[in-house]
Structure 1
Amino acid sequence: MRIHRVRQGETLQQIAGDYVVSVRDIVRVNELSSHDVLVPGLNLLIPKGDPLAVQAYTIQPGDTFQSIGERFGLTANVLTTWTGYDPSESLPVGTRIYLPVRRPSKRTIEVNGYLLPTGTPSDARIFQTISDMTYFCSFSYQARADGTLEEPKDNVALAAAKRAGIRPLMTMTNFDGNQFNTTLAHTILANNSIRRKVIDQTIAVCTRKGFGGVNVDFEHMQPGDRPLYNQYLRELRDALHAQGLSVSIAMGPKTGDNPNQPWMGAFDYRTIGQEVDFLMLMTYEWGWVGGPPLAPRLLHDF
């Protein structure tokens, strides 16, 4: 949403054309009673139109509002709005200005949702209110120390997701029924036979229930288990890919790599990025239900 201050002589048609939105949407958002009368100085809310990017441009000798507008396909009103210069002003050579550039198309995103299924009809009703979701993660298949999996009651939810064209993913955790268990994760990751059994059980469940892949959500692992976790993901990936299934993970957010950091240290971003098909970054871990409200932080590359 942007704000436009009406200038003398402007019409809604001109303003709508400048921002690539419809007159109807401007009238609706601003609750205007007339399409014809605009008072100079009036601030209008401009609803979202075509997606825009911003391009920097350095004013060259001989540049005018008209020549810049023609080069970038922008009206004088748009240039004034974005640069702050008036069409009657001369443009200072060497000054950097920022201009809107319309993207040719919108980006496609993938959307995931987690559900703790109850096995009741309410699970199916949830999917009746959801549209344009890519994945549904059934939470959760709890890995046990003997290599077996504790399954949720998700048959109703799975059937509803498939009817809605949503790809179901099996979420595997080191949750012991009360908490994410550090010792349980280590037991599974460090023992070859248990690790193999968990993978075999996972493949069997995916085949029996029709999952499209597995989402691993191991949390609160020992920082020293980082190489073991990497190895487990490689082995799981190879087994799943052989069946045409995807592997993804949920992992904690961090702005730098500190292998000794509690909770986050076990996640080797660089290696994991080569081992999984995609991931869910749990930015809400910067602030959680038991603490003060915090905004998610942006992730730095490293």
Structure 2
Amino acid sequence: MSKLIENAAVDLTIGGKVRTFDVDDPKLPDWVDDKALSSGGYPYEEKFDKDEYEDTLEKLQVELVKAQFWLQETGHRVIAVFEGRDAAGKGGSIFATRAYLNPRSARVVALSKPTETERGQWYYQRYVTNFPTAGEFVMFDRSWYNRAGVEPVMGFCTPEQYEDFLNETPHFEKMVITEGIHFFKFWLDIGREMQIKRFHDRRHDPLKIWKLSPMDIAALNRWDDYTEKRNRMLKATHTQKAPWTILRSNDKRRARLNLIRHILSTLDYAGKDKIAIGERDARIIGEGPKFLGID
């Protein structure tokens, strides 16, 4: 396979040791493979059983179809924001949530970088344009929270724009709630070694290689910067009306099941089967910065 990224080998300081990682090397280093699942304090030693996952997911997807019928009948609206570091599992979680929903009223919004016209608008404007009408379920694959993470870390906004965003966003989201929209904010959290492993997996899977970009590799040495911005974002924008729901996502299966359970448990739709939904795993899902030990 041809070289994908120039300067793909990077030196990373992890646990006080300098490690060299070359995403183009087909062999995943042992120091990554051995610690990927447990990285970031993940509470389980093994992934969730695949057969049990598929059986449970199907039951939850049946409930999602019921919830969509309820939305269409009542005119209720849902927004779900999916955020997290690169390779945290946002796209897969969205896919699992939307798989059997009617695409006419269950939309995914994944905006590219703003146009010249959009850069001259109110920052939130292009997102508001994609908000749901009556009966719709809109999922944002990244959102206005770009300004709380990638933009300040990579220098795509000014310090003043960043500070303004942290101050203004709780007020913006209060308007969303006041409007009567069911509003979910999900942060998918992964450990450092797990992120590296997933980057490597993407590089060497011909079906997923498109997901890996030079910016992903550039971000590897900015882990601490992203962590600092994540912590500030959670503390500044976690509110009673618009809380952050955190999912430990080193195991995508557990994360997806608990994410969907949270949506279904929150919505008061007709015909809800609480047994099929099951209980959320308090070791995997929690609320706000304290769940990640952020003071």
Same fold, TM-score > 0.5, yes or no = no
Greater RCO (Cα-Cα under 8 Å, separation 6 or more)? 2
In terms of fraction of residues, the more helix-rich structure is 2
Q: Which has the higher strand share?
A: 1
Higher Rg: 1
